[in-house]
Amino acid sequence: MTGEVIGDKMMKTRVVRITGATKHSKYGKTMQQASKFKAHDEKNATKTGDIVRIMETRRLSKDKRWIIMEVVKQANTANA
């Protein structure tokens, strides 16, 4: 799955938001759905705003069951 890093405050853990679109069963309107996952980042390489690919793995902690496989796109950090 591919998503955006929205939290990088924890050591070796990132919060990744996965967004998708589904149709409402009765009205047919397209709705946005978002899920948040905690993913393991061994090297603390990702920052907020990066687009990453995550993969499900064994349980690493109470909430962490995903690992970051690769960084698809780095965030633009030139805000100086």
Q: pTM for this structure?
A: 0.85
Sequence ranges of the domains in the chain: 2-73
CATH architecture of the domain formed by 2-73: Beta Barrel (2.40)
**pLDDT tens for residues 8-66?**
999 999 999 999 999 999 999 999 999 999 999 999 999 999 999 999 999 999 999 99
Residue type, 40: H
pLDDT level of residue 75 (50, 70, 90 thresholds): confident
| Nearest-5° Cα angle at 67, 63 to 73 | 125
Determine the Cα–Cα distance for residues 62 and 71; give it in Å rounded to an integer. Answer: 24
Full DSSP string of 26-72: TT--EEEEEEEEEEE-TT----TT-EEEEEE-S--SSSEEEEEEEEE
pLDDT at res. 79:
57
Q: Is the dihedral of CA 18, 65, 39, 64 positive or negative?
A: positive
